[in-house]
Every structure is written in structure tokens, then in C-alpha cells.
Homo-oligomer: A and B are copies of this chain.
Amino acid sequence: MRKDGEEFIVTPWEVKGKVNYERLVKEFGLTPLNEELYKRLTKLAGDTHKLLRRGIFFAHRDLDWILDMYEKGEKFYLYTGRGPSGHTHLGHMIPWFLTKWLQDRFDAKLYFQMTDDEKFLFKPELTLEKTRKYALDNALDVIALGFSHEKTRIFLDTDYIGVLYKIALGCAKKITFSTVRSVFGLTESSNIGQIFFTCIQAAPAFIESFIRRENVPCLIPLAVDQDPHFRVARDVAPKLGFYKPAIFHSKFLPSLSGAGKMSSSEAMSAIFTIDPPDAVRRKIWNAFTGGRATIAEQKEKGGNPEICPVFYYYAFIFEEDDKFLEERRLRCLSGDLLCGECKEELIGRVIEFLEEHQHKRERARDLLDKFLLKDGQTF
């Protein structure tokens, strides 16, 4: 939802300013992930995940219902995706990390949607050839994360429209222009593809039910900016006789520049999965931190990890151990840990991670065809 006149904006196509997640919960009408549900989820999963422990997946819709169904023997499938408007950066992968964990722990099928049509419609400069190229490139990052081929399929909307279109038509018939205007802030000058698009994004939330001709619960892990699509999809679901999809919302990996979420459009603010070590080094060295103006001042007053993207990089991805993370936080607060040391260590971890990821990414090229879902195929 666009928050006019306020200090932040969160829509599926724009995230700006410092996001106030508490307010987002209220304004989007989300349910915070409470201690009880966290415990239930991790108990059923058999273990936990840092993105859960640290409140990075912070809100949901009907996650409790998904677990009810799971306990009754009705297994859910997972659906997430990517808008392929450029190369993948680390921020894009946050929901994918948890999706992988959910797939492994709950033995869940995953539909991974590449919205090449969306990015073509919303970005004046992009052609369908370009969004296809990015989609196939981004798919390598998905595969590199180790998703099971048996349980995972990736599709480009323009490749899989033969299946998606009928489901999308059903949704479209129940959604008016008034709705997409108020939910997405679309206007009379929006193109008719943009207006139609939300039902293409809704379709995979119903695809298993549509194909199997019986209702199958669907859980969608996503970054919270994508929630509006599924608010609409959830409104439509009962009118079509489908279950409402459950949603699990993550926060955004902050921008290295310290303002808002990491963004593909500012190359220096984000680390891309294809970045070479020297780019990683340069970007992290140039990153905004919660540090003080001088070393002397920092040693005296301590830093502020709450506003520090470098700290969040550790918290979101690069520090598995909660104890070490807390130690880092306290050392920063006390002035014992200086930004230079903290950045240098992060640089090492990111370079190591990307080296391995880039290696897996290259191997993923040979697997790509096995993961891609084309028209006429079901999964």
C-alpha cells in the first residue's frame, strides 16, 4: 500500500524509506508471528531457522491453519517467485532460504514463478527477451540454493501461461478495476496489462487445486511488499471454491546505503550473486554503518547495530549462531567492535558464500531444463 505523505512506501513495485513493520502489520492487516505459533511451527519442523528465531519472518496470514491442515494429514505446497528485472541480489534470496527450509522440513512441493510478463509491463525499458534472459539467469540462483528437483518446478509466466491463463481468468472475473486501483494504487493511465497482472500472480496459489481438482493448501513465503497481490487472491479464493492461500511475510534485507531495502536499481546498495570479490569488498567498505564519526567517539559511546546494514547482513544471512550474533551486537554497542573489523569479517564471509554459490550456479546450468516447467507439462 502506498502511504501518502508518510515516511515509507511499500507496494509490490516500490519500497521506499525506513519501513515500520509494526505499522505495516496494522495497515496490511497481518497477524504477527507470536511465540506460540513459532514454537508450534518449529516443533512440527523438527528444528528452527535463524530467519524465524530472529523475527525476520515476522507476520503471516493463516499459517496456523496451514499447520492445522498439516496435522490432519493435508499437506501444503509452497509457492514463491521472483520478478526478473535484473540479476539476483542477496535480498531477493531471503524468502527463498526459508522456502528451502520449509520444503525440506515439510516435504512440500514448490512452484517458483518468474514473472517475466510483470517486469515487461511495469518497466518501460524492458523487453520480453530481456525479462526472459533475467528469469533464466535468476533461476540458476534458485537451483543453486539446493532445492530438490523432485519437489521443485520453476516456470516463466510466458512459458506456462497455457496452464496459468484459465486460473487467472477465473480470478479476473471476480476482480474489478476499483479493487486494483485501491489495493495497488493503479490509475487510469496504467496499462491494461498492469491492471490484469495480479490475477497471473494469484494463479499459482490455486494451481494444485486446479490441476488435482481437489483443494490443496498453499503456503506462500514472500517479502512483505508482495502481500497486496495475495490479499486480493485471498478475497477471490472462496468465490472460486478454493482454499485461501496462507502467507508468510519476511522483512527486507536493508540496503548497504542504509536507506530502505536493498535495491537492484542502485548497484552499490546491493550485493549481487554474480558479484566478484573486489565488488563485494568495495560495496561493503562503502556501506553505511551504525558507527560513530570517529574511532575515539565509537570506542567511548559504542555503535548502533539497530540501524546498521552490516549488522543485518550477519543477522539475515552470515551468522548462523545466535550466541555469536549477540556477542557481535554487544561488542558493537560497547565500542569494543569497530566498523572496520566488522566489515572486514563480513567481506570474508560474503566472498566465501558467493564463491560457493557461484560454483553451484554454474552447475545449475545443467539442471535448468529439469527444473523448468513448460506449457502442457504438469508437476
A127 → chain B closest CB, angstroms: 9
A223 at the interface (CB under 8 A from B): no
Our pick among B173, B186, B187 for the contact of A193 (Cβ within 8 Å) is: B173
Q: Which residues of chain B come closer than 8 Å to A173, judged between CB atoms?
A: 120-121, 191, 193
Segment of A162-170, A285-293, A349-357 in the binding face: A162-170
Q: If A193-B199, A195-B196 touch, does A177 touch B188 (CB 8 Å cutoff)? A: yes
Bound Cα distance from A60 to B181, whole angstroms: 37
Q: How large is the interface on A (under 10, 10 to 19, 20 to 34, 35 or more residues)?
A: 35 or more
Our pick among B162, B187, B189, B198 for the contact of A192 (Cβ within 8 Å) is: B198
Chain B residue nearest in CB terms to A117: B169
Q: If A375-B376, A376-B375, A376-B376 touch, does A192 touch B176 (CB 8 Å cutoff)? A: yes
State whether B178 touches A189 (Cβ < 8 A).
Answer: yes
A223 → chain B closest CB, angstroms: 24
A230 → chain B closest CB, angstroms: 16
Which chain A residues numbered 167 to 209 have a C-beta less than 8 Å away from chain B? 168-170, 172-178, 180-181, 186-193, 195-196, 198-199
A193 → chain B closest CB, angstroms: 3
Bound Cα distance from A120 to B190, whole angstroms: 24
A191 → chain B closest CB, angstroms: 5
Bound Cα distance from A170 to B161, whole angstroms: 15
A158 at the interface (CB under 8 A from B): yes
Q: Which residues of chain B come closer than 8 Å to A190, judged between CB atoms?
A: 176-177
Q: If A161-B161, A162-B162 touch, does A128 touch B192 (CB 8 Å cutoff)? A: no
Mind listing 23 A-B residue pairs with CB under 8 Å? A117-B165, A121-B172, A121-B173, A128-B166, A158-B166, A162-B375, A165-B165, A168-B193, A173-B191, A175-B192, A176-B188, A176-B191, A176-B192, A177-B177, A177-B188, A177-B189, A177-B191, A180-B192, A181-B188, A192-B198, A192-B199, A195-B195, A195-B196
- Apart from A162-B162, A376-B376, what 18 extra A-B contacts exist at CB < 8 Å? A117-B165, A117-B169, A121-B169, A128-B166, A128-B170, A159-B162, A161-B161, A169-B193, A173-B193, A175-B192, A176-B192, A177-B187, A177-B188, A177-B191, A177-B195, A193-B199, A196-B196, A375-B375
Closest 7 CB pairs of A and B: A172-B193, A196-B196, A161-B165, A178-B188, A162-B162, A177-B188, A162-B375
